[in-house]
Amino acid sequence: MKAYITHLSRLSIVTLTMLLLMGLPAVAQRGSARTRINTSRLMEIKNVDVIYISPAMLQSVPKASLKIDGADAMSGIMDGITSIHIYTSSDRKAIQELRRTFAPITELRNADLEQLMYVKNEDGVVNLIGQLQGDNASELYMIVTGDDEYTVINFSGSFSRRQLEKAVTQDNSRRHKR
C-alpha cells in the first residue's frame, strides 16, 4: 500500500509539473501580449528630438487649446490624455533607428494593437494605432512618415473605443467634405 501511495504521489507530482509546464507558454503569451517599446535609448541617438509633456503640464494648458480643428469628438480624446511623448527626426540614420524602435507598433505584431486610421496623401502617411485592452486604449501612437521626416507621437491615457470610433468617423467625414 505504501509503495502504491508513493507511486501515486510521484505520478501526481509529474502530472502536476507537466500541466504547469504546458500552461506556462499560454501564461507567458498572455503576459507578453502587452506591447512594450523601449524608448529610453532614443534619448542617446544623435539627431532624434524627444519631447515629453507631463500630466502636470497638460493640466496647466487650457483644454480649449488642445482641441484639434475644434472637433468635439477629438476633444473627448484630448480629455483622456495623461502624457505625451514625441520622437522625431529628419536624419536618415536616426529615422532608421526610430523605425526599428517602433516596428512592433507599426507592424501590429501583438494582438493588443489595432490600426484605427490610415491616411496616405502626397505629403506622406499618417497611421493612428491604439494599444487596446478590451474596449479601452491605454496608448495611442500617431506615426507620421514623410519623404524626409519621421515622427511618432505617443499619447498615454485612457480612451474608450467609442471615443476613438467617434473621432475617426468624424475625421474621415470631415476629410471627404473638403
Measured between alpha carbons, how far is 136 from 157 in angstroms, rounded to an integer? 10
Return the half-sphere exposure (C-beta side, CA atoms, 13 A cut-off) of residue 35. 26
Question: Model confidence over 15-28: pLDDT tens digits?
Answer: 333 333 333 333 33
What backbone phi and psi angles, to 5 degrees, belong to 32? -90, 5
Q: How far apart are CA 29 and CA 70, in angstroms?
A: 41
CA distance 87 to 95: 10
Q: Which residue has the cell 501526481?
A: 12
Distance CA 144, CA 155 (A): 14
* Angstrom distance (rounded) from CA 143 to CA 87: 10
**The one-letter amino acid at 53:** I
What average pLDDT does the chain have? Answer: 75
- Summarize pLDDT for 69-110 with one digit per residue, the tens: 445 545 567 778 889 999 999 999 999 999 999 999 999 988
Reported confidence tier of residue 177, pLDDT bands at 50, 70, 90: low
Q: Alpha-carbon distance 129 to 117, whole Å?
A: 7
* Inter-residue contact 130 to 108 (CB < 8 Å): no
